[in-house]
Amino acid sequence: MTAGAADLLRSIRRRSDNLDVGIQPSRIGLALLGMITCFSVGKGQDPKVDFFETKIRPVLVERCYECHSAQASDLGGQLRLDGPSAMRQGGSMGAALVPGTVDQSLLIRAIDYGDANLQMPPDGKLPQEQIDDFKRWIADGAIDPRPDTDPGKPDPKADRMAIAAKHWAYQPLEQPAATVPSSEMADWDPIDVSVARKLQEKQLTLSEEADRRTLVKRLYYDLLGLPPTFAEIEAVANNTSANWYAELVDGLLQSPHFGERMARRWMDVVRYADNKGYVFQEDREYAHAYRYRDWLIRSFQQDLPYDQFLRFQLIGDRLDPQNAAGHLDAMGMLTLGRRFLNNKHDIVDDRIDVVTRGLLGITANCARCHDHKFDPVSMADYYSLASAYMESDEPGGDPSPMRLVDRPDQGATRILLRGNPGNQGPEVPRRFISFLQPESPVDMKTASGRLEMADAIASPRNPLTARVWVNRVWGWLYGSHLVDSPSDFGLRTEAPAQQFALDSLAWDFVQKGWSTKQLIRRIVMLKTYRQRSEHREDAFAIDPENRLLWRSNRKRMDFESFRDALLHATGRLDRAVGGKSAPITTPPFSNRRTVYAYIDRQNLPQLFRSFDFATPDVHVPQRSQTTVPQQGLVLFNSEMVMSMLEGLANEASRRGRDAGIDYLFEQVLARRCTDQERSWVAELIDANDLQLPPAPENQWSYGVATLDPESGRVEGFQSLPRFHNNRWQGMKDDLPDPDSDWALLSATHGHPGLRLDQTVVRRWTAALDGKLRVRGVLKHPSDQGNGVRGSIIIRGSEKVGQWTVVHGETETQIDEVQVQAGDTIDFATDSLGDSSNDTFEWKVRIVSNDESRVRANSEKHFTSQKTRALSVWEQAAQALMLTNEFCFID
Amino acid sequence: MQSPNDSSLNMRWTRRELLHRCGMGLGALALPGLVGELLAGESSPNPLLPKQPHFPAKAKHLIHIFANGGPSHVDTWDPKPAMEKYAGQEMSGGAPRTERPTGNVYPSIFKFQKHGQSGLEVSELFEKTASAHADKLCVVRSMHADVPNHEPSLLLMNTGESRLVRPSVGSWLTYGLGTENQNLPAFISMCPDGYPIQESQNWQAGFLPGIYQGTYIDSKHESVDRLVEYVVNRKLGRSAQRRELDLIQKMNDEHIRARPHDPMLEARIQSMELAYRMQEEALDVFDVSSEPKHVLDMYGPGVQARQMLIARRLIERGVRVIQLWHGAGQPWDNHDHIFDGHRKLAKECDQGIAALLTDLQQRGLLDETLILWGGEFGRTPTVEMPQKGANAGTISGRDHNHYGFTVWLAGGGLRGGQAYGATDELGFKAVENRVHVHDLHATMLHLMGFDHTKLTYRFAGRDFRLTDVHGRIIQEWIA
């Protein structure tokens, strides 16, 4: 056993009072106890010790210990910095510091970077602030409460615990002291006052309030994920009430689409998908996943208090065991993850991740194999959390297939050494993460600990739950988070630049009954939120990342909002709330909001990936934002987008050119167009020279025509109007059709109509000039009837080949045909006056003269789509929807 | 995010500066090629711009020919004459445990022959590849993995982790290196007629941004619009599309004029131009019919040959990583009738592989391309026992074998003409110079210019890497 594991074992036994084995309470145990004391009293001990703990120790641990502590594999300069004596004693160059004397302290010389031969840390100078802290600390006597560790006995855990006790995110929630407002700020929210003061320190100010139309669009996007209509914007613009903004906010919070917007955001947090991922043979679907999604929508819509919201998702089995109120479905949060071929340990690991990172901003999964290297999370913590799931079953079936229940026969929980199920370590007490809740271990014989976990998370005393949630909500609304690692509030995460805002929101949120709607209302009412998003040179020079919140952030629409906005602009949006998931990438294209899209975890379509959709495999703290040409390809070329355009285009075109253009702007961009813009669009509308692209499918058409079999003249070509049973045919489902009789064409086969004016024609139109050959076989498989006659005719008039086949087959080869782009080659088949038993097969290939390239293949390029070129009005509509204006929110 | 080497700094010219340097006015917007790409990358969030690795390296591209299902090493690259000696006998101590029960030693029927100056011994199944390229191959006969099952072994070979969600080798490489051609996907995974087992998880980006995920291409198709999603517009000719794009960009110019200094807006403007150009590039690269006849003849007929040829065309155009899967499911998984099965499979790909190596070399691309051939594991030298519903009830196949198997590498920076490591006398277990999949990954990253311990990504509070806490660089492979 390693020294670390032995220490751990000791500390665990200490905690479970398992002292009869004769192990003395270890130093770590004591450190833990000391830490707990720190928690209960918070700040307020010796300020010099405080200073060391908050300013000095973290830097030593982060930047120095790797080479200058007992844990260093190669001790630099024989110097250790992991204990007070070691520092004074120093290394090969002498004492690292002399308390009280800054300029004689070697440490300062090294970190000052003034001496080219002695610069530490070697990977980069410390920030000046930290260097000044060290100077101040040494000047003040270098107070150092760390115990001196024995050589070879590193104590990283004690370091972590001591730092944790002072870490900003782990401090109890309290009402932060507000800055005193100046007179003009008298009626401001204290958050705005604090933000403004922080800006003042840098000689900056908040940006002006954005104009009304911008704010309307921003609020619709942030709260609903849908754009406002032209009329909605105008209504707000003309609202004379002094409270117009608050009225708008309150109205939007009541919209049925608010719940959809929030639910989809939460679905990123809990890695929602409609299937299990890779499975061997079992059913891959989570057929009931949508019920969890709908529960989320309802909960946000009804503003279910966030603590309740979490409790239902963790212990719905206890709160609504029969699913009478539908709350049992909330357990989908835990149970809808990837199945990892049903490896229970991996399933549990995934659930721990969702709960710890998603709800608490704690990264716990490293502790599956070893104590966390940076944060105060031990293997004992991990396996204690794991037991909450290991000791729960998924009974499936009624009343909810997504529920978990505690197993009737509860087992002990053991650490799995190095995460290996075959290598069981010591037993651990069942409780929540120990640094957050050191007491009240669960009785392992009766309960999994899931209830206690829910209690510990959904608690006003938990310092993380509310902070993590308000930070997420802030990020969704403001476009950047206060804490920019929203799922890691660990020791390496610095306090946010605007910490007052975070703490004030968190405190207020819990005080006001965990109301997410109230939280959102407070944020969007802030001056900070209502700022313009424009660039300001003065502020940008000082704070390019906008950490001090001197402007609003311009946002690019996320995937869901973008697709919803397309449906909205084209008038196709289906506003129904709730229901089963709908595939959105395949025809017939759904008009449902994207929150209802079927999420295939295993093979997420490229469409989602191209637009930075959250991977449904794991908890996603925030989406990445990339700009790549694949996005443009989807927008230009996808059937999904192009299929939306027709209705809108028809409506515009009906109004005539200029009025139609005005209409398009109002529908798509929700504003009036300028004269210049109107003239730009008019140019496109007037061009009107439609051309299909030369895709191989587009080169074929299927119809009937009048054939003169002697001369080879083909006249009056009419496309077969209907695609039915995988073939083109007349309008009437049951043939014969009154116009085209039995005429039909499939990928390989066909049937002529009775008369010569019902000759069935497969027509190819050349996209390029060239010398070609035709290869093919015409078959008449039936042993009855009088057979069929096939003719190959160029440019509608030149017969180059003709064959009659009766109960057999014949090759139909033409060795050289010269065509120009736009020329046709017809494969015409007629009935020879008797259309009974006239089903034929005729597959043809058109190849280049040297046979090296296939130019056309009647079977492979057969298509059910009746392709028509995008009309100019459709193009105009598409163009407006592809602009930056459409996809960015100021 | 920690990038391997912040060369993006080099790219951070301002747009104005760049135009100035190139002696162009602001009118020259729709620039082709590199300059256009630089412009797109200027201050912009395109994560696929080319980046420098940790140190200079020969190999800039990777082609991974994946013989999925588990090709038998003792029938291909690892001659075991002792199998004849013990034919039909039980292995001393019994066969190690694999997925299914196996019986006695089952000698290969294939003839092995020495090739090249190196005298590398290869079976007749890969006669064409061996006879033309033996001296370029670094054949690793001492590979081993963790378990004898397809799913975990595929994930291990592709992502370095057998169960959890992790980025694939190709995703790591495109994250580290970006790509040289912004008009094509950076990482392409081709598999004819469907997915291999574990499906798109084999080329997943895991927790890396989704843009590093491999783009799947069903190489069964011949027409480009079926090969690459969304690359063909079926309803609009090119000039009409250009006209539409011009309207969009006029609107965008007005829009950005009122909103200066926003790289996101600028980036999207440029990416629309790139999308427009990508249509043409993709149409061209996947259309092998324009290749001269002697090249088509060299690769031979069939889908394997065609995807090898497409791979060469993609490498030529700067695509970073290409995976070529033999087929959907697990084609090399011959639990029965292995000799017929392997003969057929090898015939499908041997000529294409040989042609690919020849072709790359002739074009001077072999040096900068690392080629890996192999499966997720090998097969037992013992015969699989008949099982109802499992192996056609016959005694004619081999079971999975993760204890020992063979892969080979060729191209950029490798020392060819060698067989590295060895399995035991019968070919069951790797015994000499054993190489774990992590070691293979570490060495591949090294060959592509990366310290495998430093190519990391911060996720869930930890810096992750392809080799996790493992991986050893095999110096003997490196030229």
Which of chain A's residues have a Cβ under 8 Å away from the Cβ of B156?
Answer: none
Which of chain A's residues have a Cβ under 8 Å away from the Cβ of B230?
Answer: 606, 630, 633-634, 636-638
Q: Which residues pair with A819 in a beta bridge?
A: A770
The residue among B306, B409, B310, B323 whose CA lies nearest residue B366 is B409
Residues B254-258 have a mean pLDDT of 93
Residue A698's closest chain B neighbor by CA?
A: B234
Q: Do residues B318 and B376 both lie within one domain?
A: yes
Q: Is residue B412 part of a domain?
A: yes
Q: Hey, what are A865's tokens?
A: 């789509």
The CATH T-level fold of domain A696-857 is Jelly Rolls (2.60.120)
Give B255 to chain A, closest Cα distance, Å.
7
**Residues near A80 by beta carbon (within 8 Å), at least 6 away in sequence:** A68, A69, A70, A72, A86, A87, A91, A151
Contact B289 A603 (CB under 8 A): no
CA-to-CA separations, A842 to A119, A701, A788, in angstroms, rounded = 82, 15, 11
Contact A615 B207 (CB under 8 A): yes
Look at strands B187-190 and B321-325 and give their pairing: parallel
Residues B331-353 have a mean pLDDT of 97
- What's residue B3's pLDDT? 37
Contact A346 B163 (CB under 8 A): yes
| Residue that finishes a domain, picked among B218, B245, B278 | B278
Q: Which of B48, B203, B227, B236 to mutate to test the interface with A (most CBs of A within 10 A)?
A: B236
Distance CA(A402)–CA(A335), nearest Å, equals 6
Q: How many A×B Cβ pairs under 8 Å?
A: 230
Q: Do residues B221 and B238 both lie within one domain?
A: no
Which of chain B's residues have a Cβ under 8 Å away from the Cβ of A860?
Answer: 222-223
CA-to-CA separations, A146 to A1, A306, B367, in angstroms, rounded = 26, 40, 56
Distance CA(A421)–CA(B336), nearest Å, equals 34
Contact A883 B205 (CB under 8 A): no
Q: Which residues pair with B188 in a beta bridge?
A: B215, B322
CB atoms within 10 A of CB A291: 21
Are the beta carbons of A151 and A70 closer than 8 angstroms?
A: yes
Degrees, nearest 5: CA angle B389-B391-B397: 170
* φ/ψ (deg, to 5) at A496: -70, 155
Q: Does residue A156 surpass a pLDDT of 80?
A: no
Q: Does residue A1 surpass a pLDDT of 80?
A: no
Q: Structural domain boundaries of chain A?
A: 43-166, 305-457, 645-691+870-889, 696-857
Q: What is the CA radius of gyration of chain B?
A: 24
Find residues 497-536 of chain A whose CB sits inside 8 Å of chain B.
534-535
% residues pLDDT > 70 (chain A): 93
Q: Hey, what are A496's tokens?
A: 């946010």
pLDDT bracket for residue A806 (50, 70, 90): very high
Contact A677 B279 (CB under 8 A): no
| Structural domain for B317, as ranges | 61-228+286-477
Q: What is the pLDDT of residues B145-180, one digit of tens each?
A: 999 999 999 999 999 999 888 999 999 999 999 999
Q: Is residue B187 part of a domain?
A: yes
Give B187 to chain A, closest Cα distance, Å.
13
Q: What is the pLDDT of residues A423-434, one digit of tens each?
A: 888 888 888 888
Q: Hey, what are A267's tokens?
A: 């679905």
Contact A624 B209 (CB under 8 A): yes
- What's residue B12's pLDDT? 31
Contact B238 A861 (CB under 8 A): no
The residue among A792, A855, A295, A787 whose CA lies nearest residue A577 is A295
Contact B234 A698 (CB under 8 A): yes
- What's residue A102's pLDDT? 87
Residues A358-364 have a mean pLDDT of 94
Look at strands B430-432 and B405-411 and give their pairing: unpaired
Q: Do residues B174 and B237 both lie within one domain?
A: no
Contact B230 A633 (CB under 8 A): yes
**Residues near A516 by beta carbon (within 8 Å), at least 6 away in sequence:** A262, A300, A303, A306, A309, A469, A473
Contact A677 B198 (CB under 8 A): no
Handedness of CA B380, B382, B385, B386 (dihedral sign): positive
Distance CA(B469)–CA(B448), nearest Å, equals 20
Q: Do residues B295 and B311 both lie within one domain?
A: yes
Q: Which of B156, B218, B235 to mutate to test the interface with A (most CBs of A within 10 A)?
A: B235
Which of chain A's residues have a Cβ under 8 Å away from the Cβ of B212?
Answer: none
Q: Do residues B136 and B171 both lie within one domain?
A: yes
- What's residue A375's pLDDT? 86
Q: Hey, what are B401's tokens?
A: 């074998």
Q: What is the pLDDT of residues B30-75, one digit of tens each?
A: 333 333 333 333 334 577 889 999 999 999 999 999 999 999 999 9
CB contact burial A245-270 (16+ within 10 A = b; e otherwise): beebbeebbeeebbbbbbbbbbbbbb
CA-to-CA separations, A574 to A570, A571, A647, B5, B45, in angstroms, rounded = 11, 9, 15, 48, 34
* DSSP alpha helix (H) spans, A169-288: 190-201, 212-219, 230-237, 244-254, 256-269
Look at strands B405-411 and B138-144 and give their pairing: antiparallel
Which of chain A's residues have a Cβ under 8 Å away from the Cβ of B168?
Answer: none
Q: Do residues B181 and B270 both lie within one domain?
A: no
- What's residue B184's pLDDT? 87
Give the three-class secondary structure for A881: helix
Q: What is the pLDDT of residues A571-616, one digit of tens each?
A: 999 999 999 999 999 888 999 999 999 999 988 888 898 888 998 9
Q: Is residue B55 part of a domain?
A: no
The residue among A212, A192, A210, A189 whose CA lies nearest residue A200 is A192
Q: Is residue B429 part of a domain?
A: yes
pLDDT bracket for residue A153 (50, 70, 90): low
Measure CA of the first residue to CA of the last residue in chain B; give whole Å.
Answer: 33
Contact A632 B274 (CB under 8 A): yes
Which of chain B's residues have a Cβ under 8 Å away from the Cβ of A612?
Answer: 209-211
Q: Which residues pair with A762 in a beta bridge?
A: A702, A827
- What's residue A45's pLDDT? 62
More confident of the two residues B393 and B449: B449
Are the beta carbons of B134 and B353 closer than 8 angstroms?
A: no
**Alpha carbon of residue B462 to chain centroid:** 27
Q: Do residues B248 and B222 both lie within one domain?
A: no
Give B476 to chain A, closest Cα distance, Å.
27
Q: Do residues B193 and B255 both lie within one domain?
A: no
Residues A773-786 have a mean pLDDT of 95
Which of chain A's residues have a Cβ under 8 Å away from the Cβ of B453?
Answer: none
* φ/ψ (deg, to 5) at A815: -90, -30
Q: Which among A608, A627, A633 is the nearest to B231, CB-wise?
A: A633
Residue A555's closest chain B neighbor by CA?
A: B264
Q: What is the CA radius of gyration of chain A?
A: 36
Contact B201 A691 (CB under 8 A): no
More confident of the two residues B448 and A84: B448
Find residues 467-496 of chain A whose CB sits inside 8 Å of chain B.
487-488, 490, 492
Q: Which among A608, A853, A884 is the nearest to B255, CB-wise?
A: A884
Q: Does residue A494 surpass a pLDDT of 70?
A: yes
Degrees, nearest 5: CA angle A240-A246-A250: 120
Which of chain A's residues have a Cβ under 8 Å away from the Cβ of B158?
Answer: none
Which of chain B's residues have a Cβ under 8 Å away from the Cβ of A372?
Answer: 461
Residues A812-820 have a mean pLDDT of 92
DSSP state of B288: G
Q: Do residues B272 and B201 both lie within one domain?
A: no
CA-to-CA separations, A682 to A323, A659, B34, in angstroms, rounded = 59, 11, 35
Degrees, nearest 5: CA angle B285-B290-B294: 120
Distance CA(A851)–CA(A770), nearest Å, equals 12
Contact A693 B233 (CB under 8 A): yes
Look at strands B378-384 and B321-325 and give their pairing: unpaired
Contact A869 B261 (CB under 8 A): no
Total number of domains constituting chain B: 2
- What's residue A788's pLDDT? 96
Collect contacts of A481-486 with beta carbons under 8 A, ≥24 apart. A481/A622, A483/A169, A483/A361, A485/A361, A485/A621, A486/A361, A486/A621, A486/A622
Give the three-class secondary structure for B331: coil
Q: Hey, what are B452's tokens?
A: 């495998």
Degrees, nearest 5: CA angle A158-A163-A168: 155
More confident of the two residues A540 and B371: B371
Q: What is the pLDDT of residues A825-881, one digit of tens each?
A: 999 999 999 999 999 999 999 998 877 777 889 998 898 877 778 889 999 999 999
Distance CA(B238)–CA(B226), nearest Å, equals 19
Q: Do residues B402 and B459 both lie within one domain?
A: yes
Contact A695 B232 (CB under 8 A): yes
Distance CA(A536)–CA(A202), nearest Å, equals 14
Q: Which among B207, B232, B244 is the nearest to A875, CB-wise?
A: B244
- What's residue A265's pLDDT? 98
Torsion of CA A22, A25, A28, A29, to 10 degrees: 120
Q: Which residues pair with B371 in a beta bridge?
A: B63, B410
Tell me the residue type at A869: A
- Range of A109-113, A371-375, A428-432, B422-426 with top mean pLDDT: B422-426
- Range of A138-147, A383-392, A420-429, B308-317 with top mean pLDDT: B308-317
Q: What is the pLDDT of residues A500-512, one digit of tens each?
A: 999 999 999 999 9
Distance CA(A766)–CA(A110), nearest Å, equals 77
- What's residue A152's pLDDT? 52
| Residue that finishes a domain, picked among B218, B252, B278 | B278
Strand ranges, E, within B336-389: 369-374, 378-384
Q: Do residues B29 and B68 both lie within one domain?
A: no
**Strands of A759-765's sheet, edge to edge?**
A713-719, A700-708, A759-765, A824-830, A788-794, A798-805
Q: Kindly state whether A847 is in contact with chain B, defined as any CB-CB distance less than 8 angstroms.
A: no
Query: Helix A212-219 vs helix A244-254: angle between axes, to the nearest 10 degrees?
Result: 20
- What's residue B344's pLDDT? 97
Degrees, nearest 5: CA angle B78-B372-B1: 140
Degrees, nearest 5: CA angle A794-A798-A801: 80
Q: Is residue B51 part of a domain?
A: no
**Residues near A590 by beta carbon (within 8 Å), at least 6 away in sequence:** A574, A582, A583, A584, A596, A597
Q: Kindly state whether A340 is in contact with chain B, defined as any CB-CB distance less than 8 angstroms.
A: yes
Are the beta carbons of A327 and A320 closer than 8 angstroms?
A: yes
Which of chain B's residues have a Cβ under 8 Å away from the Cβ of A607?
Answer: 229
Q: Does residue A44 surpass a pLDDT of 50?
A: no
Q: Do residues B36 and B103 both lie within one domain?
A: no
Q: Please provide the DSSP assignment of A20-54 as one string.
A: GG-PPPPHHHHHHHHHHHHHHH-S-S-HHHHHIII
More confident of the two residues A36 and A339: A339
Residue B272's closest chain A neighbor by CA?
A: A632
Average pLDDT score over chain B:
87
Residues A145-171 have a mean pLDDT of 78
Q: Kindly state whether A756 is in contact with chain B, defined as any CB-CB distance less than 8 angstroms.
A: no
Q: Which domain CATH number covers B222?
A: 3.40.720
Q: Is A499 exposed, middle or buried (0-12, 13-18, 19+ CB in 10 A)?
A: middle
